[in-house]
């Protein structure tokens, strides 16, 4: 049975993926449902150093999320990344993230929960219903993508640990393993490792907030945040923390890495808002990848990245310029 669990706004018809590309993608999804994903998917060109089973997921779990989209080509989405643990250039993660081992992997959940504990990667992949969702992804640096992610609602994970009535926020930490992460050893690094992010509990429990284990029908490549990352589609991309190893529920707003570095530039909320510029550049437009000097593919930025209908209620009566 198909469950429609949320309503996601449609993309303009001018942005629809060419029919041949879309039909090929539908065939791959059908193959996944039949349990043959591993043999039908083409190679991404990025090795996932893990014995994980192929991703099997239900595209029908979120009908509205799977509307036709102008998908960013997989090569662009997996080779143009910010993952400072491996370097500050966009190409550094794809070049160097293979050094990170993701087997074994576990996520510790602590803090204001009735059942603190740990989930191993096999628990995450086998214990939740995976679904595909196509989301816009907007970087604070004013570039953007449209990516088909595979994952499950963060709310499903948090409910297993039973947040207490005192819990108000969720704090996340990224893996910190200097021997495998060259960027953390750089003398020019300004981040106080490990990388930290946070959400209000109601943001974390929102149906759009996705714990992600794959993209383009495959397990996440290391440079995209393997094996487990967050996707919060109405916020700037740095809120969607990669390679998560720790989740803590707390009654106090957690400090985040970019807040600690430059609070005047990177607020706790970091909601996509074309009316609130970054101190050093405008946020009214974005470069939709693929983009080049002569073909910049410049599009207007939408409030809450186009998800205002779903999430604006979370910020009712809040001054979005003060709580940026």
Domain range summary for the chain, segments of one domain joined by +: 13-271
Given pLDDT bands bounded at 50, 70 and 90, which one contains residue 323? very high
CATH classification for the domain delimited by 13-271, as one of 3.90.420.10, 3.40.50.300, 3.90.400.10, 3.40.50.1950? 3.90.420.10
Given pLDDT bands bounded at 50, 70 and 90, which one contains residue 277? very high
Residue 150: the pLDDT is 98
Instruction: Determine contact, residues 257/196, Cβ cutoff 8 Å.
Output: yes
C-beta atoms surrounding 118 within 10 Å: 10
* Sheet strands side by side (includes 117-120): 117-120, 106-111, 244-250, 169-174, 196-200
Residue 315 vs residues 102, 119, 269, 320: alpha-carbon distances, Å = 36, 32, 10, 8
DSSP state of 61: G
Q: Which ranges in 103-151 belong to alpha helices (H)?
A: 121-126
- CA–CA separation, 183 and 188 (whole Å): 9
What is the helix (H) or strand (E) element at residue 238, kind and residue range?
A: none
Given pLDDT bands bounded at 50, 70 and 90, which one contains residue 176? very high
User: Which of the pair, 42 or 209, is modelled with greater confidence?
Assistant: 209
Lowest mean pLDDT among 17-21, 34-38, 107-111, 237-241: 34-38
Q: What is the pLDDT of residues 186-226, one digit of tens each?
A: 998 999 999 999 999 999 999 999 999 999 999 999 999 99
- CA–CA separation, 194 and 217 (whole Å): 29
DSSP state of 140: T
What is the helix (H) or strand (E) element at residue 121, kind and residue range?
A: helix 121-126
Does the pLDDT at position 40 exceed 70? Answer: no
């Amino acid at each position: 049975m198909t469950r429609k669990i949320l309503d996601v706004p449609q993309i303009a018809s001018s942005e629809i993926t060419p029919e041949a590309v879309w039909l090929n993608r539908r065939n791959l999804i059908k193959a996944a449902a039949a349990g043959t994903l591993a043999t039908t998917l083409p190679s991404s060109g990025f090795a996932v150093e893990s014995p994980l089973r192929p991703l099997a997921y239900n595209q029908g779990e979120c009908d509205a999320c799977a509307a036709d989209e102008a998908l960013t080509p997989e090569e662009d989405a997996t080779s143009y990344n910010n993952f400072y643990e491996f370097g500050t250039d966009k190409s550094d993660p794809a070049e160097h993230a293979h050094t990170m081992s993701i087997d074994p992997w576990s996520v510790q959940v602590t803090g204001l929960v009735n059942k603190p504990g740990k989930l191993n990667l096999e628990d995450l992949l086998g214990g939740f219903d995976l679904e595909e969702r196509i989301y816009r992804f907007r970087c604070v640096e004013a570039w953007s993508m449209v990516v088909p992610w595979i994952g499950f609602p963060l709310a499903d994970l948090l409910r297993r640990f039973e947040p207490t009535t005192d819990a108000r926020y969720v704090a996340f930490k990224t893996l910190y393993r200097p021997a495998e992460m060259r960027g953390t050893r750089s003398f020019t690094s300004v981040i106080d490792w490990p990388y930290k992010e946070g959400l209000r509990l109601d943001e974390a429990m929102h149906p759009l907030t996705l714990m992600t284990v794959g993209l383009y029908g495959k397990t996440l490549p290391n440079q995209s945040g393997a094996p487990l990352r967050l996707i919060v589609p109405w916020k700037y991309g740095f809120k969607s923390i990669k390679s998560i190893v720790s989740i803590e529920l707390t009654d106090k707003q957690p400090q985040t890495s970019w807040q600690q570095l430059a609070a005047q530039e990177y607020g706790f909320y970091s909601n996509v808002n074309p009316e609130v510029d970054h101190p050093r550049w405008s946020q009214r437009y974005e470069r939709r990848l693929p983009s080049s000097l002569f073909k910049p593919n410049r599009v207007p930025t939408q409030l809450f990245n186009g998800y205002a209908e779903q999430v604006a209620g979370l910020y009712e009566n809040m001054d979005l310029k003060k709580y940026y």
